[in-house]
Structure 1
Amino acid sequence: MADRRLTAPLGPGPHVWAEVPGHAVVRPLFEGAGNIDEITFPTLGRQGVTLRLFDRGTGSWSIHWSDSRSGRLDPPVTGAFADDRGDFHGEDTYDGRPVRVHFTWYRLGPDTARWEQEFSADDGRTWELNWTMDLTRTGRAGA
């Protein structure tokens, strides 16, 4: 996984990106209606967990994140996929400030995907890209 993060999102200074290696293990849930992954960032000394659940009633997905630094489950982003793109929106806080959050998932091929995160601190008028991950499947369950 190639992980790039903006070092100071929503900051007034120059935009500096840091590249951080990572590795994720993904497990399916509910016969495809969910999954959970654990991501390890060895150079940062931390882990994260993502829980994704499909709401059969609304046809939408919710994505929940937790980081080993806080130990709390962040508010979810919700949305759906159309073709090879998924868009998900939610509200959260960053550094004590309320922000709108936008996740975008792109399927680039059978074993590759890209994820992006953007924040808006002005009710969605402007957005700042602050985190990207390029993912490549390296193995399959049971393989």
Structure 2
Amino acid sequence: MRRFGEAIVRGQTYRPRPGAYAVLMRAGRVLITHQSRPHPEFQLPGGGIDPGEGALQALHREVFEETGWSIGAARRLGAYRRFTYMPEYDRWAEKICTVYLARPVLRRGPPSEPGHSAVWAAPEAAIDLLASEGDRHFLAQVLQGAAR
């Protein structure tokens, strides 16, 4: 599995943290989320898979919490991993990020997750805004496929 992000801290123990994330395209725009804390950054909507939850179930829940949108037609694009410290959980994690391409279907309200806001961006702008190298990689893959 491809790895993106910061170098592994020697001697640090990382706990696996699987997650599901989405590239969401509609009318030539990309729906991303801005997280204001612990560090302000733009991300693909998504997040951790809770115990007893499947990846697609987590994807639907996380996208709704972070953007207020329901989604459909989710198709797995691939996965990557990154090693990072998660201050909101006081945890060193090996994030195993499964990325899907999905269609935003219906805006059901504002994001319910504190500190998140939904942002529609032009695809090229979204690539520049996304903080994660892995997120940028998968969005670029989708855009290259759309250009063919």
TM-score, structure 2 as length reference? 0.26
Larger radius of gyration between Structure 1 and Structure 2: 1
Q: Higher helix proportion, which one?
A: 2
Q: Higher strand proportion, which one?
A: 1
TM-score, structure 1 as length reference? 0.26
